[in-house]
Structure 1
Amino acid sequence: MPDPEKRFAEEWRDAAYNCFSSGHKFCREVCPVMQVTGNESWSPTAFHANVVAMEQGSLEVADVAADYVNCTGCGACELRCPNSLFTGDFYRFRTRTVDLVKGVRSLAVRQEVHQPAWRRWNELTAERTHEPVADGVSQERVRDWAQGLDLTVGGETILFVDCEAAFYRPSVPRSVACVLGLAGYGFGLMNEQWCCGGPAAEMGYEEQARRFAEHNLADWRASGVRRVLVLDPHDYITFTEDYPKYFGEAFDIEVVLVVELLAALIREGRLAPHVPVERTVTYHDPCRLNKRKGIWQEPREILRAIPGLTFHDVDRVSQWSYCSGAGGGLAVEKPELTAKISEMRMGKAAELGVDTLVTACPWAERPLTAAGEARSIGVVDLHELLAESLGVAP
């Protein structure tokens, strides 16, 4: 076994054995990939068992790297794992399957074991400094969504707009800008915004992710930025988990999730939704908010503040097993599997008799919209819905 694989197996040995020896496999119930494939090699349990086999010298990363594509990074398995539920409080132990998957992917890339679509995606991202989410992606167009909004560059507070929203869903950041402007909440934009680097890290291209992070942090420091507003849950994970890991205590930027900010502005009376929106809706919890960060109340506060809505909800624990399939790079390497997961999620919405599924994740919106067409269920972004009710929809 090559030394990097040996060191990795030693690092993850205890966590892998802890999972492998428990035998409960409750994680399979909530894993979106397992729900649509039933493939045991793609289960959270198997991801840990492979490390046990690597530690014993029975497998190498090249033998199993392709299996680790089949994870959206949603984190449901960690919540459902008895090792987290029963021993977490006492032993301060939590199953870290998401980190393990990212670790194996990174190890594979360092060992020159690549997945073809991921490799090409990251090559294009490196060339353009932005992900290839649409035609015409380039540094020169990263602020096109803000045309006509009279926004400044720099300042103490800036809005970071992810690649998907900036190039493919520009009405989402425009809605955010209009709503914050209505509330009198000032902010600017980055001088030269690159991709956050999170997707590269999730696919195993950690060196590229760090390079992008270093650029963005340097841009913030040069412009006097102290606070970064984030509308995308994936960016929120990157800025609150990856960047602190890269920079340690030197990362002293406050990261604010826009959904939480908007809920607070409504509570303070600075925003008052008043235009009725006549829809029957349910809410899709983005995995990286509900499952990964425990953020579920604020989106529902916003929905309940919008007049005209008929809101059919399910509890947040039930949504542990709900996923769009768009995370963790799955949609890049296996779009057909993402489509199946989105179709399953839309089936849950159809059971509630709604005409609209609301989400707060630009990345989830694309596959969910495709799945909703067959059921005549529309997909609407929460930020846009609020802007409509406030009368400032772009």
Structure 2
Amino acid sequence: MTETRPGGHGAPHRPTTPGTGEAPIDPPEELVVAPPRIPVRDERTRAFVEEWRNASYNCYSSGHKFCREVCPVMQVTRNESWTPTAFHANVVAMEKGELDVADIAADYVNCTQCGACELRCPNTLFTGDFYRFRTRTVDVVKAVRALAVDSGVHQPGWQRWNLRTDERTHEPVLGDTPVSQEHVRDWADGLDLPVGGETILFVDCEAAFYRTAVPRAVAQLLTAAGVEFGLMGEQWCCGGPAAEMGYRAQAERFARHNLDDWRAGGVKRVLVLDPHDYITFTEDYPAYFGADFDIEVVLVVELLAELIRDGRLTPSVPVERTITYHDPCRLNKRKGVWAEPREILRAIPGLVFNDVDRVTQWSYCSGGGGGLPVEKPELTAAISARRLDQAAALEVDTLVSACPWSERPLSEAGEARAIDVVDIHELLAESLGITVGGSRGAAGDRTGGCGGGSCGCAGTGGADR
């Protein structure tokens, strides 16, 4: 029977300290270390920790936090829980049994997957060349998000967004535009483009349904240069955004559909105008299909620079603007594509180009990537506003981008500063005397999300139907 102290209400008797006959002194409450909370560890979590522990220890054990100041989310929130270091520390804590994915999933919303932290990390800068090691924060974020979804832990905006994407085979990017398979080629009305062929142009959802002036400019530029291409027979979303939000099975299913469509049509080369598609086709699809993915992927910006060098495109109409260039994160930071867009801009007569040192671009971001606009549009707006402040300091009237997904939040931020946001493909078409047509989108229709209508995500704006 348990011995109790008087008045102890059943509390066990405390033994005396040897040699004194006195009870030991209780330690201060704040120094009492609770036993570790060991969550239920299913096979899925064990496999995740085994795969990512070394990558996270390489970050966590180094102690460096240089990545914080180039993180666009950290720049506007100063929240230490949303830093790259914290993202890796959480994985270490999961291995120790201190945390489970349900405890941390919401933190991983706060990442645009821009890759700036990976470039700034000393493990990449100082040992990467020698050890062939690059800090993999973007991959860790994607893996945690996938683990959360597979474990039944969803973020409401992302879940609704991907349900709508699954229903329509395209992302619900705009309120009043019917987003469906039947309308995916509406942007090309009047351009007389064929369907199929060895080379096809893939147009992402944002450009196909919202910023339709961009694909129209691209198509007419390629036609003017004599590049033969067609459109997909049945184009679905590339699946990249679903993968970035953690819906990996859906992303792979969409990828399989697109690859099957390409093979059925004899496609050998895919032209892409959007950096997000470029990342998806050059990184995700090879990971899904391995050696079976033998499609050549060509970035349109690089192709256009080549066509200018070869004399097949000669910009001659002056464009009287004072500009600077916004490096899309997925081109400059993650793919090292920075020279070709500048080559194009410097070939356009009439432009006053106030460029900045490209190395500093690792701290600039539109906030439009990684699903952030869908779940936290207010953070995207704050990041875009900061980016426009940097442009305004250069006394420009135009910010040029090469990414349709960045141009919506940047346009909204630009309105307040009287700075126009123009896509580089549109600007080149103007200098070639091409009348583009189509829509450049309307700032204010959506600050992230999908319109805030029937989709019900966190975005604001017109009804989504």
Q: Is the 8 A contact 1:384 1:393 kept in 2?
A: no
Amino acid at match of 2:386: M
Residue 360 of structure 2 is matched in structure 1 by: 318
Aligned mates of 1:190, 1:153 — CA distance in 2: 6
Report SS of the residue matched to 1:273.
coil
1:377 aligned residue (395, 400, 419): 419
Query: Could you report, residue by residue, the CA deviation over 1:202-259 in whole angstroms, capped at 9, with x for unpaired residues?
Result: 0000000000000000000000000000000000000000000000000000000000
Q: Is the 8 A contact 1:158 1:188 kept in 2?
A: yes
1:42 aligned residue (82, 94, 119): 82
Aligned mates of 1:22, 1:140 — CA distance in 2: 52
1:99 aligned residue (139, 157, 167): 139
Q: Is the 8 A contact 1:276 1:389 kept in 2?
A: yes
Residue 172 of structure 2 is matched in structure 1 by: 132
Residue 160 of structure 1 is matched in structure 2 by: 202
Report SS of the residue matched to 1:130.
coil
Alignment of 1:181-330 (within 5 A): 181-330=223-372
Aligned mates of 2:193, 2:131 — CA distance in 1: 49
Aligned mates of 2:294, 2:42 — CA distance in 1: 37
Report SS of the residue matched to 1:10.
helix
Using the TM superposition, name which of 12-21 and 362-371 deviates more: 12-21
Amino acid at match of 1:109: V
Aligned mates of 1:55, 1:393 — CA distance in 2: 58
Amino acid at match of 1:385: L
Residue 27 of structure 1 is matched in structure 2 by: 67
Alignment of 1:118-129 (within 5 A): 118-129=158-169
Amino acid at match of 1:237: I
Aligned mates of 1:10, 1:180 — CA distance in 2: 47
Query: Could you report, residue by residue, the CA deviation over 1:261-301 in whole angstroms, capped at 9, with x for unpaired residues?
Result: 00000000000000000000000000000000000000000
Amino acid at match of 1:150: D
Aligned mates of 2:405, 2:80 — CA distance in 1: 27
Report SS of the residue matched to 1:317.
helix
Amino acid at match of 1:265: L
Q: How many residues align?
A: 394
Measured after TM superposition, the shift of residue 23 of structure 1 is 1.1
Structure 1 stretches of 4+ moved >6 Å: none
Amino acid at match of 1:123: L
Measured after TM superposition, the shift of residue 15 of structure 1 is 1.1
Report SS of the residue matched to 1:282.
strand
Measured after TM superposition, the shift of residue 313 of structure 1 is 0.4
1:5 aligned residue (45, 63, 75): 45
Report SS of the residue matched to 2:270.
strand
Using the TM superposition, name which of 6-15 and 230-239 deviates more: 6-15
Query: Could you report, residue by residue, the CA deviation over 1:149-173 in whole angstroms, capped at 9, with x for unpaired residues?
Result: 0100000000000000000011100
Query: Could you report, residue by residue, the CA deviation over 1:107-128 in whole angstroms, capped at 9, with x for unpaired residues?
Result: 0000000000000000000000
Query: Could you report, residue by residue, the CA deviation over 1:177-220 in whole angstroms, capped at 9, with x for unpaired residues?
Result: 11111111110000000000000000000000000000000000
Residue 147 of structure 1 is matched in structure 2 by: 189
Aligned mates of 1:191, 1:315 — CA distance in 2: 42
Aligned mates of 2:46, 2:93 — CA distance in 1: 11
Greater Cα radius of gyration, structure 1 or 2? 2
Q: Is the 8 A contact 1:137 1:167 kept in 2?
A: yes
Aligned mates of 1:238, 1:120 — CA distance in 2: 21
Report SS of the residue matched to 1:379.
strand
Provide the identity percentage: 78
1:173 aligned residue (203, 211, 215): 215
Greater per-residue helix proportion: 1
Residue 455 of structure 2 is matched in structure 1 by: none
Amino acid at match of 2:98: S
- When normalised by structure 1's length, the TM-score is 1.00
Aligned mates of 2:99, 2:50 — CA distance in 1: 14
Report SS of the residue matched to 2:127.
helix
Report SS of the residue matched to 2:358.
coil
Report SS of the residue matched to 1:8.
helix
Measured after TM superposition, the shift of residue 2 of structure 1 is 2.0
Q: Is the 8 A contact 1:178 1:393 kept in 2?
A: no
Aligned mates of 2:163, 2:90 — CA distance in 1: 28
Measured after TM superposition, the shift of residue 393 of structure 1 is 2.8
Residue 60 of structure 1 is matched in structure 2 by: 100
